[in-house]
Amino acid sequence: MKEFFGFGGYTRTPEGYLSWQHLLFVSLLMAGMVLLAVLLGRRMRSRAEKEKNSVLIGAAIAIDAVELFNIVMHCVVAQDPLKWLQMLPLFLCTVQLITLPLAAFAHGRIKEAALDFVLIFGILGAVMGTFAAGQNYAAYPVLSLDNVFSGLTHAIAGFASLYIAFSGMTSLKKRNIGITYLILIGICALAYVADVLIPYNYMFLMRGDGTPYDLFYDLVNGNPVLYPLCVVALFLLYIAVFYGVCFLLRKKKRAK
Protein backbone atom coordinates (compact mmCIF):
# COMPACT_ATOMS: atom_id res chain seq x y z
CA MET A 1 0.00 0.00 0.00
CA LYS A 2 2.89 2.34 0.75
CA GLU A 3 4.22 1.75 -2.75
CA PHE A 4 0.78 2.31 -4.28
CA PHE A 5 0.32 5.69 -2.58
CA GLY A 6 3.96 6.62 -3.12
CA PHE A 7 4.36 8.64 0.06
CA GLY A 8 7.84 10.10 0.05
CA GLY A 9 8.27 9.14 -3.61
CA TYR A 10 7.96 5.88 -5.51
CA THR A 11 10.83 3.45 -5.10
CA ARG A 12 9.64 1.17 -7.92
CA THR A 13 10.97 1.87 -11.40
CA PRO A 14 8.12 2.93 -13.73
CA GLU A 15 7.28 0.27 -16.31
CA GLY A 16 7.41 2.99 -18.93
CA TYR A 17 5.23 4.76 -21.44
CA LEU A 18 3.68 2.33 -23.96
CA SER A 19 4.99 -0.64 -21.99
CA TRP A 20 2.74 -3.70 -22.04
CA GLN A 21 1.71 -2.95 -18.45
CA HIS A 22 0.66 0.59 -19.42
CA LEU A 23 -1.23 -0.58 -22.52
CA LEU A 24 -2.94 -3.44 -20.69
CA PHE A 25 -4.07 -1.23 -17.81
CA VAL A 26 -5.52 1.55 -19.94
CA SER A 27 -7.04 -0.92 -22.42
CA LEU A 28 -8.96 -2.59 -19.59
CA LEU A 29 -10.09 0.82 -18.34
CA MET A 30 -11.25 1.92 -21.79
CA ALA A 31 -12.97 -1.41 -22.50
CA GLY A 32 -14.93 -1.16 -19.25
CA MET A 33 -15.77 2.46 -20.00
CA VAL A 34 -17.10 1.70 -23.49
CA LEU A 35 -19.05 -1.38 -22.41
CA LEU A 36 -20.76 0.39 -19.52
CA ALA A 37 -21.58 3.46 -21.62
CA VAL A 38 -23.07 1.42 -24.47
CA LEU A 39 -25.12 -0.86 -22.21
CA LEU A 40 -26.48 1.95 -20.03
CA GLY A 41 -26.94 4.30 -22.98
CA ARG A 42 -28.98 1.79 -25.00
CA ARG A 43 -30.98 0.79 -21.93
CA MET A 44 -31.86 4.39 -21.04
CA ARG A 45 -32.44 5.65 -24.59
CA SER A 46 -36.22 5.28 -24.47
CA ARG A 47 -36.56 6.48 -20.87
CA ALA A 48 -37.68 9.92 -19.72
CA GLU A 49 -35.07 12.70 -19.67
CA LYS A 50 -35.06 12.72 -15.86
CA GLU A 51 -34.12 9.05 -15.78
CA LYS A 52 -31.44 9.53 -18.44
CA ASN A 53 -30.03 12.45 -16.50
CA SER A 54 -29.77 10.39 -13.29
CA VAL A 55 -26.86 8.46 -14.82
CA LEU A 56 -25.05 11.72 -15.63
CA ILE A 57 -25.64 12.89 -12.06
CA GLY A 58 -23.99 9.71 -10.80
CA ALA A 59 -21.04 10.22 -13.16
CA ALA A 60 -20.68 13.86 -12.09
CA ILE A 61 -20.62 12.93 -8.40
CA ALA A 62 -18.18 10.07 -9.07
CA ILE A 63 -15.65 12.14 -11.05
CA ASP A 64 -15.58 14.91 -8.43
CA ALA A 65 -15.39 12.40 -5.55
CA VAL A 66 -12.43 10.60 -7.13
CA GLU A 67 -10.55 13.84 -7.69
CA LEU A 68 -11.37 15.20 -4.23
CA PHE A 69 -10.05 11.99 -2.65
CA ASN A 70 -6.93 12.29 -4.79
CA ILE A 71 -6.36 15.87 -3.64
CA VAL A 72 -6.85 14.94 0.02
CA MET A 73 -4.41 12.04 -0.29
CA HIS A 74 -1.72 14.27 -1.79
CA CYS A 75 -2.23 17.44 0.25
CA VAL A 76 -3.24 16.08 3.66
CA VAL A 77 -2.14 12.46 4.00
CA ALA A 78 1.10 12.87 2.03
CA GLN A 79 1.62 16.26 3.69
CA ASP A 80 2.16 18.20 0.47
CA PRO A 81 -0.17 21.17 1.11
CA LEU A 82 0.69 22.99 -2.13
CA LYS A 83 0.09 19.97 -4.37
CA TRP A 84 -3.42 21.25 -5.17
CA LEU A 85 -1.81 23.96 -7.30
CA GLN A 86 -0.91 21.20 -9.76
CA MET A 87 -4.35 19.59 -9.53
CA LEU A 88 -6.62 22.41 -10.67
CA PRO A 89 -9.33 21.41 -13.22
CA LEU A 90 -7.51 23.13 -16.06
CA PHE A 91 -6.60 20.21 -18.30
CA LEU A 92 -8.82 19.17 -21.18
CA CYS A 93 -9.83 16.08 -19.23
CA THR A 94 -10.07 17.45 -15.68
CA VAL A 95 -12.19 20.40 -16.80
CA GLN A 96 -14.92 17.76 -16.91
CA LEU A 97 -14.94 18.15 -13.12
CA ILE A 98 -16.81 21.37 -13.89
CA THR A 99 -18.57 20.75 -17.22
CA LEU A 100 -19.93 17.29 -16.31
CA PRO A 101 -21.78 18.59 -13.21
CA LEU A 102 -23.07 21.47 -15.38
CA ALA A 103 -24.35 18.93 -17.90
CA ALA A 104 -26.01 16.97 -15.09
CA PHE A 105 -27.47 19.75 -12.93
CA ALA A 106 -27.87 22.87 -15.10
CA HIS A 107 -30.86 23.78 -17.28
CA GLY A 108 -31.54 25.43 -20.62
CA ARG A 109 -28.78 26.47 -22.99
CA ILE A 110 -26.10 26.11 -20.31
CA LYS A 111 -27.02 22.46 -19.91
CA GLU A 112 -27.11 21.96 -23.69
CA ALA A 113 -23.70 23.58 -24.19
CA ALA A 114 -22.23 21.57 -21.28
CA LEU A 115 -23.63 18.35 -22.81
CA ASP A 116 -21.96 19.33 -26.09
CA PHE A 117 -18.64 20.01 -24.36
CA VAL A 118 -18.66 16.71 -22.47
CA LEU A 119 -19.66 14.84 -25.63
CA ILE A 120 -16.97 16.51 -27.76
CA PHE A 121 -14.04 16.41 -25.35
CA GLY A 122 -14.88 13.59 -22.94
CA ILE A 123 -13.89 10.76 -25.24
CA LEU A 124 -10.92 12.69 -26.68
CA GLY A 125 -9.64 13.44 -23.16
CA ALA A 126 -10.15 9.80 -22.16
CA VAL A 127 -7.94 8.54 -24.99
CA MET A 128 -5.34 11.31 -24.70
CA GLY A 129 -5.16 10.95 -20.92
CA THR A 130 -4.61 7.18 -20.99
CA PHE A 131 -2.99 5.86 -24.16
CA ALA A 132 -1.15 9.12 -24.91
CA ALA A 133 -0.27 10.12 -21.33
CA GLY A 134 3.48 9.87 -21.67
CA GLN A 135 3.96 12.45 -18.91
CA ASN A 136 2.34 10.11 -16.35
CA TYR A 137 3.35 6.60 -17.37
CA ALA A 138 6.98 7.53 -17.94
CA ALA A 139 7.19 9.04 -14.44
CA TYR A 140 5.07 6.81 -12.20
CA PRO A 141 4.49 3.04 -11.90
CA VAL A 142 1.32 1.89 -13.67
CA LEU A 143 -0.41 0.72 -10.48
CA SER A 144 0.13 3.85 -8.44
CA LEU A 145 -2.11 6.50 -6.92
CA ASP A 146 -1.27 9.01 -9.63
CA ASN A 147 -1.95 6.75 -12.59
CA VAL A 148 -4.92 4.81 -11.22
CA PHE A 149 -6.81 7.92 -10.14
CA SER A 150 -5.89 9.73 -13.34
CA GLY A 151 -7.14 6.72 -15.30
CA LEU A 152 -10.43 6.66 -13.37
CA THR A 153 -11.02 10.37 -13.92
CA HIS A 154 -10.42 10.05 -17.66
CA ALA A 155 -12.55 6.91 -17.88
CA ILE A 156 -15.52 8.59 -16.17
CA ALA A 157 -15.26 11.55 -18.55
CA GLY A 158 -15.11 9.20 -21.53
CA PHE A 159 -18.05 7.20 -20.16
CA ALA A 160 -20.15 10.37 -19.87
CA SER A 161 -19.28 11.36 -23.43
CA LEU A 162 -20.33 8.01 -24.90
CA TYR A 163 -23.37 7.74 -22.64
CA ILE A 164 -24.66 11.10 -23.89
CA ALA A 165 -24.34 9.83 -27.45
CA PHE A 166 -25.91 6.37 -26.93
CA SER A 167 -28.71 7.56 -24.64
CA GLY A 168 -29.87 10.22 -27.11
CA MET A 169 -29.08 13.17 -24.82
CA THR A 170 -27.02 14.79 -27.56
CA SER A 171 -27.80 18.47 -28.10
CA LEU A 172 -25.39 19.81 -30.77
CA LYS A 173 -27.53 22.82 -31.69
CA LYS A 174 -26.03 25.53 -33.86
CA ARG A 175 -27.10 28.23 -31.41
CA ASN A 176 -24.85 26.71 -28.71
CA ILE A 177 -21.64 26.53 -30.74
CA GLY A 178 -20.56 29.95 -29.51
CA ILE A 179 -21.02 28.93 -25.87
CA THR A 180 -18.93 25.80 -26.42
CA TYR A 181 -16.16 27.93 -27.92
CA LEU A 182 -16.36 30.41 -25.04
CA ILE A 183 -16.05 27.60 -22.48
CA LEU A 184 -12.91 26.34 -24.17
CA ILE A 185 -11.34 29.78 -24.66
CA GLY A 186 -12.09 30.70 -21.04
CA ILE A 187 -10.46 27.50 -19.78
CA CYS A 188 -7.40 28.05 -21.97
CA ALA A 189 -7.05 31.62 -20.72
CA LEU A 190 -7.24 30.52 -17.07
CA ALA A 191 -4.81 27.66 -17.77
CA TYR A 192 -2.29 30.02 -19.37
CA VAL A 193 -2.45 32.41 -16.40
CA ALA A 194 -1.97 29.49 -14.00
CA ASP A 195 0.94 28.19 -16.10
CA VAL A 196 2.70 31.54 -15.82
CA LEU A 197 2.00 32.20 -12.14
CA ILE A 198 2.53 28.77 -10.55
CA PRO A 199 4.32 27.83 -12.96
CA TYR A 200 2.89 24.62 -14.43
CA ASN A 201 1.79 23.15 -17.74
CA TYR A 202 -2.00 23.13 -17.71
CA MET A 203 -3.63 22.29 -21.07
CA PHE A 204 -0.03 21.58 -22.19
CA LEU A 205 0.27 25.23 -23.22
CA MET A 206 3.92 25.45 -22.14
CA ARG A 207 5.34 22.20 -23.59
CA GLY A 208 4.34 18.75 -24.77
CA ASP A 209 5.66 16.76 -21.77
CA GLY A 210 5.92 13.49 -23.68
CA THR A 211 2.43 13.76 -25.23
CA PRO A 212 1.60 14.11 -28.97
CA TYR A 213 1.70 17.88 -28.45
CA ASP A 214 5.48 17.50 -28.63
CA LEU A 215 5.06 17.29 -32.42
CA PHE A 216 3.79 20.86 -32.52
CA TYR A 217 6.28 22.00 -29.88
CA ASP A 218 9.12 20.75 -32.07
CA LEU A 219 7.48 22.14 -35.21
CA VAL A 220 7.68 25.72 -33.88
CA ASN A 221 10.95 25.11 -31.98
CA GLY A 222 9.22 25.70 -28.65
CA ASN A 223 8.24 29.28 -29.51
CA PRO A 224 6.46 30.61 -26.37
CA VAL A 225 3.84 32.41 -28.47
CA LEU A 226 3.31 30.13 -31.48
CA TYR A 227 3.19 26.88 -29.52
CA PRO A 228 0.26 27.74 -27.18
CA LEU A 229 -1.56 29.33 -30.14
CA CYS A 230 -1.14 26.07 -32.07
CA VAL A 231 -2.57 24.07 -29.17
CA VAL A 232 -5.60 26.35 -28.77
CA ALA A 233 -6.13 26.40 -32.55
CA LEU A 234 -6.18 22.58 -32.54
CA PHE A 235 -8.89 22.58 -29.87
CA LEU A 236 -10.99 25.09 -31.80
CA LEU A 237 -10.52 23.18 -35.04
CA TYR A 238 -11.54 19.94 -33.34
CA ILE A 239 -14.79 21.54 -32.14
CA ALA A 240 -15.54 22.83 -35.65
CA VAL A 241 -14.85 19.45 -37.24
CA PHE A 242 -16.92 17.60 -34.63
CA TYR A 243 -19.94 19.87 -35.12
CA GLY A 244 -19.48 19.79 -38.90
CA VAL A 245 -19.42 15.99 -39.10
CA CYS A 246 -22.45 15.67 -36.81
CA PHE A 247 -24.45 18.22 -38.83
CA LEU A 248 -23.51 16.44 -42.06
CA LEU A 249 -24.60 13.05 -40.67
CA ARG A 250 -27.89 14.53 -39.50
CA LYS A 251 -28.53 16.05 -42.93
CA LYS A 252 -27.87 12.73 -44.65
CA LYS A 253 -30.12 10.91 -42.20
CA ARG A 254 -32.99 13.31 -42.89
CA ALA A 255 -32.49 12.98 -46.63
CA LYS A 256 -33.06 9.19 -46.52
pLDDT one-digit tens code per residue, 102-146: 999 999 999 999 999 999 999 999 999 999 998 899 989 999 988
Measured over the CA atoms of residue 19, residue 24, residue 29 and residue 30, the dihedral's sign is positive
Task: Give whole-number Cα distances, 150 to 10, 114, 127, 189, in Å.
Answer: 16, 22, 12, 23
Q: What pLDDT is attached to residue 3?
A: 78
Q: Say whether pTM exceeds 0.85.
A: yes
DSSP, res 153: H
Q: What whole-number distance in Å separates Cα of residue 109 and Cα of residue 155?
A: 26
Distance CA 90, CA 183 (A): 12
Whether residue 2 is predicted with pLDDT greater than 80 in this model: the reply is no
| DSSP string over 204-218 | G-S--TTSTTHHHHH
Identify the band that residue 251 occupies on the pLDDT scale cut at 50, 70 and 90: confident
Residue-wise over 189-224: b if at least 16 C-beta within 10 A, else e? Answer: ebbbebbeeeebbbbbbbbbbbbebeebbeeeeeee
Is a pLDDT exceeding 90 seen at residue 93?
Answer: no
Average pLDDT over residues 163-172: 93
Residue 6 has pLDDT above 90, yes or no: no
- For 110, counting Cβ atoms within 10 Å of its Cβ (0-12 exposed, 13-18 middle, 19+ buried), the class is middle
> Quick one: pLDDT band at residue 237, thresholds 50, 70, 90?
very high
